[in-house]
Amino acid sequence: MGVVNATDGAMQRRGHRSDLALFDFDGTITTRETMPDFMYAAVRPGRQRLAKLLVLPLVLGYKAGLVSGVAIRAVICFLGFWRVPGDELEVRGRRFAGEFLPGVLRPTAMERIAWHKARGDTVVVVSGGLDVYLRPWCREQGLELLCSLLEQRGGRLTGRYLGAQCVRAEKARRVMARFPPERFDRVFAYGDTPEDRELLALAHEPHWFGKGV
């Protein structure tokens, strides 16, 4: 997919409302799934060993189509983060965003994001990944963010998600609530798997954008 000259695009947009650009993160902006890498970087070693033993049956069930990805992520987060201080995870999230994520970004996706930003579009990352590492990365890039959140009580993580995981239909629901498409001239959306179908269904211009693109 070619990239339009940003100056020409900006001239074409004068006098109009901005467009909305929705980007899945893992596999679309990045070359790989990043949550497993974050868990490896952020979860304490003793918990990692325990989690590997307890999660293995679930992984086998997932591969057999018997267990959902939502269920696996919920268990992994509980085992990894229960009673962990929120400040500790924030530090690890910022470090992961600054040190790991730059090495797995897809150049074509970053070019497309830059094109949308140059046009004055509202660019939103919509991801099932966790806010502790996506938030600092999006802030650095000047992007809006809708993603999964972790619950805290008394400064410590409960190990549970705060609300629903931001996947599949939940992605579309959050976009509709925060960035109603009718407020924009056009909506672009970018995803790389069938799990992004609900997100792409919101767009005037949906794009499968990931591996091989």
- Alpha helices by DSSP H, listed for 69-209, are 69-81, 86-99, 107-119, 131-141, 169-178, 197-200
- Name the nearest CA neighbour of 41 among 170, 133, 134: 133
* 127-170 residue pLDDT tens: 999 999 999 999 999 999 999 999 999 999 999 999 999 999 99
Contact in structure between 23 and 190 (CB atoms under 8 Å): yes
Q: Which two tokens stand for residue 162?
A: 């705060």
Query: Distances from the Cα of 129 to the Cαs of 62, 135, 167, in angstroms?
Result: 18, 10, 9
Within 10 A of 83 (CB to CB), how many other CB atoms are there? Answer: 10
Angle at CA of residue 32, ends 27 and 33, nearest 5°: 85
**Backbone torsion region of residue 208, taken as left when φ is above 0, otherwise alpha when ψ lies between -120 and 50, otherwise beta:** beta
Locus of tokens 């590492």: 133
- Catalogue all structural domains in the chain, each as residue range(s) with its CATH number: 6-208 (3.40.50.1000)
Contact in structure between 171 and 146 (CB atoms under 8 Å): yes
Averaged pLDDT for residues 111-134: 98
* 53-87 residue pLDDT tens: 788 888 788 778 888 889 989 999 999 999 999 99
**Residue 163 DSSP symbol:** S
Q: What is residue 211's predicted lDDT score, i.e. its pLDDT?
A: 64
Average pLDDT taken over every residue of the chain:
90
Contact in structure between 172 and 96 (CB atoms under 8 Å): no
The Cα 103–Cα 87 span in angstroms is 25
- Name the nearest CA neighbour of 125 among 23, 21, 39: 23
